[in-house]
Amino acid sequence: MAKQIYDYWFIQFDFPNDEGKPYKSSGGKMVWNDKLKREIPVGWEVCNLSSYLCTYTERVSAQTVNTDTKYAPIEVIPRRRMSFNECAPVENALSGLCAFHKKNILLSNRRVYFHKVCIAAFDGITRDTVIILKPKNKDLLGYSYQLVNDDVFIEYATRNSYGSEQPVLSWESAKTYKVLRPCNQLDVKYSKAIDAIIDCVIKNELEIAALTKQRDELLPLLMNGQVSVNYHLSYNFGRSLNISYLC
């Protein structure tokens, strides 16, 4: 939903005009922009990605990592998903460690074409194979995230990565990517509009993590008979799923 609104407003330029109608489809004035080689709405500007995002760098020593620290290396970051709940064993966190915070944006800098761009659901650590980004304006998280989540940026980042076997993207290359700065604070309005979506996604990811942990703790106990499911509970649950029980 967040991406559909972004595409509608900032790619098709059919954001609500002063009358609440789709801007471009309703005849909104467009002008040619030489930097982007395309038409953009009147009053909009073009700036570098670094106008919206900056890198966050906080090096962490493996010796100071607590056992309850959440470790999210590049391997657990999913493709094309807004957030995630997976973690790797913290004992595997040995070198090149960096801290990140909840609602930082994590961008894989290896094989960028895998499209691993996520908003962190928790505080944790990762490795330096992930670029940690934060919006320069905290009210622009949604818009800033979509700028680097957009397929056009991923294509740009892939072209500007270096190396052949595992191409690497540097922030120095990424930060000069040209983006749109809309007028009338449309970027702020968009970000506020999807704040609830981001919060809901993060809440769901955290709940999934809690349920997964509970499942992993209970399943071995159920298998070896240390605990059992209440008969009436299992029967009623089975009926709701149309499962027949032999009594």
pLDDT tens digits, one per residue of 37-84: 999 999 999 999 999 999 999 999 999 999 999 999 999 999 999 999
pLDDT band of residue 242 (cuts 50, 70, 90) is low
Q: CA 194: distance to chain centroid?
A: 13
Q: For residues 136 and 232, which has the higher predicted lDDT (pLDDT)?
A: 136
Mean pLDDT for 198-223 is 91
Single pTM value for the model: 0.87
What is the rounded distance in angstroms from the CA atom of residue 45 to the CA atom of residue 33? 9
When the pLDDT of each residue in the chain is averaged and rounded to a whole number, the result is: 92
What is the rounded distance in angstroms from the CA atom of residue 11 to the CA atom of residue 39? 11
Q: Which domains does the chain have, with CATH numbers?
A: 50-181 (3.90.220.20), 200-240 (no CATH)
Token pair recorded at residue 222: 């159920």
Task: Give DSSP secondary structure letters for the chain.
Answer: -HHHHHIIIIIS---B-TTSSBTTTTT--EEEETTTTEEEETT-EEEEGGGTEEE---EE-GGG--TT--B--GGGSPSS-S-----B-GGG--SSEEEE-TTPEEEE-BSGGG--EEE-SS-EEEETTEEEEEESSGGGHHHHHHHHHSHHHHHHHHHT-B-SSS-B--HHHHTT-EEEE-STTHHHHHHHHHHHHHHHHHHHHHHHHHHHHHHHHHHHHHHTTSS---HHHHHHHHHHTT-----
Radius of gyration of the chain (CA): 23
Residue 22 sits at φ, ψ, to 5 deg, of: -60, 125
- Output the pLDDT for position 237: 52
> 150-174 pLDDT, tens per residue?
999 999 999 999 987 889 999 999 9
